A and B are shown apart, each in its own frame.
Chain A
Amino acid sequence: MSVESWGAVLAEHQADLQASWLAEVAPPLAGRVTRQELERDGRELFGALAAGAAVSGSFSDGAYDELRAVLTELSRSRARQGLTPSETATSVFAVKTAFLRAPGVQPDAAFVALSQFVDELGLFTFEVYVEARERVIGEQSEQLLELSTPVVKLWDGVVAVPLVGTLDSARTQVVMEKLLQSLVDTGSEHAIIDITGVPAVDTQVAQHLLKTILAARLMGAECQISGISPQIAQTIVALGIDFGEIRTRATLADALVHALRSTGADVVRGAGAPARTGR
């Protein structure tokens, strides 16, 4: 079929095509996508296709911009609904089936069979590709989780976790486990959680921090929070977050000095050192 001929079939039998598309697509998606949604998808899909076909036969032509938009929206909504790539692509391939069933179209049976077979090959390849890709992404985010939460030893008996980036439950879990394990491994009684690199603190992040600190306290270690910027301090007060007895410090240096003093050490400037300019 050339563009003239399939365009003509579309112009003449759009309603029939939509109906047989729906009949093809609906059964496998039953229960997951509503019939109303599918009807709307079909209407938009064939409407945009007809609009494009009236102008050009090449999908890369600007005349198909609307169709591209419809397909983008369809793919996104299917992905959000948790459908597989194959189930999504089938919605598009069903257009072909609808055309082959249209009145007045006499397809070559052998060619149709081959075409459907190749479609299935394509779907299979794509399915495996997506799976492999998701595995890579999963591994990478896991590695990132590991990488982004180092526990550093600052002094004998003092460990620190510089947190960078947003804190969520999964990350807090990793931070908590690593920090607590390092307390055992290094025999440290002081831990400092530095949140200089945390862009925002909300009640949930505060809750996560509190849990970590409580757990450290249960193990017999004192935990401080440092790196609280003026903005974050104001946010904490505005949100009414109460850190209770937990010590919070403006800078990691302040927290370290406090930790050193509680271990019995004192920080003294040696003779001949330049005078302090800052705090």
Chain B
Amino acid sequence: MDRVPVLRLGGLLLVSIQVDLEDSTALALQEDLSQAVVATGARGVLIDISGLEIVDSFVGRMLSTIAAVSRVLDAETVVVGMRPAVAITLVELGLDLAGVRTALDVERGMRVLGSTTAPRADGLPLAR
């Protein structure tokens, strides 16, 4: 089974989805990512879906779920690089990814996270 790599980037986690997701891969990613957020204490998660050409309601819901899980674990999720066709499909499916922040590309996504994930008030470093 293919696994989507979860890369650590300072206090952030970067997931770059380059292939069309199968349901099992999507579930594995959800699992891996929540493990990684806890393990690294990341404050932000960037999901790059610029390689994703086809979405279905399952993948759309998975994105929402990942964002919700991350928020529970005190990490902000930003979905970046969504293609126009994918955006149109999600809107037609009635999925507005409520609670998920979006940005045009990885760089802008990092800027979004940079402005919201200020260093912890307790003085702990971003990543343990």
Contacts and interface: CB of A to CB of B under 8 A. Distances in A.
Nearest to B105: A187
A220 B104 contact: yes
A126 to B, nearest CB: 41
B44 interface: no
B108 A177 contact: no
A214 B92 CA distance: 10
Given A220-B82, A221-B104, A180 B109 contact: no
A151 to B, nearest CB: 12
A176 B88 contact: yes
A216 interface: yes
B28 interface: no
A214 B87 CA distance: 8
Given A211-B91, A214-B96, A220 B84 contact: no
A50 B102 CA distance: 74
Contacts of A216: 87
B68 interface: no
Given A184-B83, A211-B91, A218 B105 contact: no
B97 interface: yes
Most buried by B among A177, A184, A188, A216: A184
Nearest to B78: A220
Chain A contact surface mostly: helix
B69 interface: no
Number of chain B interface residues as a range? 20 to 34
A200 B67 CA distance: 39
A252 B92 CA distance: 28
A184 B104 contact: yes
Interface string A186-205: 01110000000000000000
A215 B90 contact: yes
Contact of B84 (A180, A187, A189, A214): A180
A77 interface: no
A177 B68 CA distance: 29
B91 A215 contact: yes
A181 interface: yes
B102 A217 contact: yes
A221 B87 CA distance: 11
A187 B104 contact: yes
A107 to B, nearest CB: 62
A219 interface: yes
Given A183-B104, A187-B104, A220 B88 contact: no
A217 B109 CA distance: 13
Given A177-B88, A189-B104, A189-B108, A218 B80 contact: no
A214 to B, nearest CB: 5
A183 to B, nearest CB: 7
Contacts of B90: 215, 218
Contacts of B88: 176-177, 180, 215
Contacts of B80: 220
B115 to A, nearest CB: 12
A214 B91 contact: yes
B17 interface: no
A218 B102 contact: yes
Interface in B77-128: 79-80, 82-84, 86-88, 90-92, 96-97, 101-105, 108-109
5 contacts: A180-B88, A214-B91, A217-B102, A218-B79, A218-B97
Interface of B: 79-80, 82-84, 86-88, 90-92, 96-97, 101-105, 108-109
Closest 10 CB pairs of A and B: A180-B84, A220-B103, A220-B102, A215-B87, A218-B87, A220-B104, A215-B91, A219-B82, A214-B91, A219-B87
